[in-house]
Amino acid sequence: MNTTLLGRDSDSGTLDIGVLGIGNIGMVHLKSALAMANVDVLAVADAAPENRNRAERAGVSRTYEDYATLLESEELDAAVVALPPFLHADAVEVAAANDVDVFVEKPLARSTAEADRLLEAADAAGIAVGVDHTLRYQPDMKGVKTDYDDGTVGHVPYASITRLNDGPLGRPPARDAPPEWALDPDAAGGGSLLELGIHCFDVLRWLFGDLEVECAAIDGTLDLPVEDAATVLLRAPETETIISLHCGSYQWEELPEVNTQLRLEGIAGTISNEDHLPENFYASAAKSALTNVATRATGDEPDVFGPTFYLRAHYDALADFLESVRAGSSPPVDGEDGRRTLELTEEAYERATRTDDEELESSEVTL
């Protein structure tokens, strides 16, 4: 933990942060941080001038082209690492060298080996590492966990989770160039299993405890360099639950509704995240907006990104991390959580690419 700087700031309670990478998700983190009480965004870094311009328009006074220069020039308590995955480990190493806690966008790294390197650097420097596994912050997922923890359906022998979106190629009409790194297995570390499946691994561990990969299949709907579909069969030993997971970045996305389905089939009934989604996103957004406007009169804090439903989860994840920095406690979703989801991803890749002969040998050994 960054005790020196935390000590300095604990008087005022205000944290000084920087945001590294302000593409789509980095901009969400930046806007979240700008809206938080007791958080000052000192600077942002992004290689793209248009992104730096957007940050300046959002109210950030200092922008850097290079994230390392930012970390070395600014006195920060914490940094949000929203760079492409191939830069996560390098960025955390520079943050560690400058005694800055980090909140890293998922995936934590491209591999467990890279995550180990990153975590060793963080551990040696004593900085905290949080990971933005945001699914568990969504209201519908929280609703599922509350119902499950309350025992409303009893034992759950089977669960399923599906998460689909349109991935880097998007949907027609063609408008933008897809990011190069997202379709480059070296830069991204993988395809939809690493991009989307890793969210599912995290939320399933949050619900059922640790997981084991039974078998997996990966596929591509186009001739892409990375998979855009993956299916994994998992076992949760603690709860004796078998889980099927499917993720894909092949489906045209219809915002504001996002195609994520989580179902827990219990002895006494079913728990579904759909039971915890707004019946009408637009009506729900309007209600949330009116409530926020009313806070002007009551003096309460507004529910930042409240009308957007999904972005609020990113706000809450970052707020929770920064609260842990302030309190000097472990991040609620820490580096080891991020590493374990990477380990499960690697196990799924290994299972998916295992040949029939290897599968047979494995079965023989087991028997």
Partner 1 sequence: MDRRVCVAAADESGGWTPDVRERTAAFARPVEAVLEATADSIVADDDGVTIVPDAHYPFHPSTGVVTDPAVVGAICRFLTDRTGTDLSVAVAGSEHVDVDRTAAFLGYPELVDRFDAALFDPADEPRTTVVRDVGGRSVSTSIPTRLLDERVIVVPTLRPTRTGQFAGVTRTLSRFDDRSDGSPEATIAAADAIEPALAVLDATTAYGDDPHATNAVFAGPAASVDAVGASLLGRSIDEDPVLKPTLETEPPVEIERIGSGAVDVESIRDRLSGGRLPATGDAHPAVTAAYRLYAAVGRDAVPPQLEGGR
Question: Of 34 and 47, which has the nearer Cβ to partner 1?
Answer: 34
Question: Measured from the CB of residue 184, what is the shortest distance to partner 1 in angstroms?
Answer: 11
Question: Measured from the CB of residue 47, what is the shortest distance to partner 1 in angstroms?
Answer: 18
CA distance 200 to 244: 10
Q: Is 211 exposed, middle or buried (0-12, 13-18, 19+ CB in 10 A)?
A: buried
Q: What is the largest CA-CA distance in the chain?
A: 70
Cβ contacts of 26 within 8 Å, gap of 6 or more: 19, 20, 44, 46, 51, 80, 82, 83, 105
DSSP-derived 3-state class of residue 353: helix
Question: Measured from the CB of residue 67, what is the shortest distance to partner 1 in angstroms?
Answer: 19
Cβ contacts of 217 within 8 Å, gap of 6 or more: 230, 231, 352
Question: Of 124 and 283, which has the nearer Cβ to partner 1?
Answer: 283
Question: Measured from the CB of residue 280, what is the shortest distance to partner 1 in angstroms?
Answer: 16
- Tell me how crowded residue 205 is: count the other CB atoms within 10 A of its CB: 19
Where do contacts with partner 1 occur on this chain (CB under 8 A)?
A: 24, 27-28, 31-32, 34-35, 54, 57, 169, 171-178, 183, 221-224, 250, 252-253, 255, 289, 292-293, 295-296, 302-308, 311
HEC assignment per residue over 116-182: HHHHHHHHHHCCCEEEECHHHHCHHHHHHHHHHHCCCCCCCCEEEEEEECCCCCCCCCCCCCCCCHH
Which residues, in sequence order, are bridge partners of residue 247?
163, 230
Question: Of 224 and 233, which has the nearer Cβ to partner 1?
Answer: 224
Question: Measured from the CB of residue 39, what is the shortest distance to partner 1 in angstroms?
Answer: 12
Amino acid sitting at position 177: A
Question: Of 150 and 172, which has the nearer Cβ to partner 1?
Answer: 172
Question: Measured from the CB of residue 105, what is the shortest distance to partner 1 in angstroms?
Answer: 15
Question: Measured from the CB of residue 302, what is the shortest distance to partner 1 in angstroms?
Answer: 5
**Quick one: tokens of 358?**
């290897």
CA distance 146 to 153: 11
| Cis-peptide into 256, omega within 30 deg | yes
Question: Measured from the CB of residue 25, what is the shortest distance to partner 1 in angstroms?
Answer: 9
Question: Of 219 and 320, which has the nearer Cβ to partner 1?
Answer: 219
Question: Measured from the CB of residue 36, what is the shortest distance to partner 1 in angstroms?
Answer: 10
- Given a contact cutoff of 8 angstroms between Cβ atoms, the answer to whether 118 and 81 are in contact is no
Question: Of 1 and 224, which has the nearer Cβ to partner 1?
Answer: 224
| Cis-peptide into 332, omega within 30 deg | no
Question: Of 123 and 254, which has the nearer Cβ to partner 1?
Answer: 254
Question: Of 33 and 243, which has the nearer Cβ to partner 1?
Answer: 33
Question: Of 47 and 183, which has the nearer Cβ to partner 1?
Answer: 183
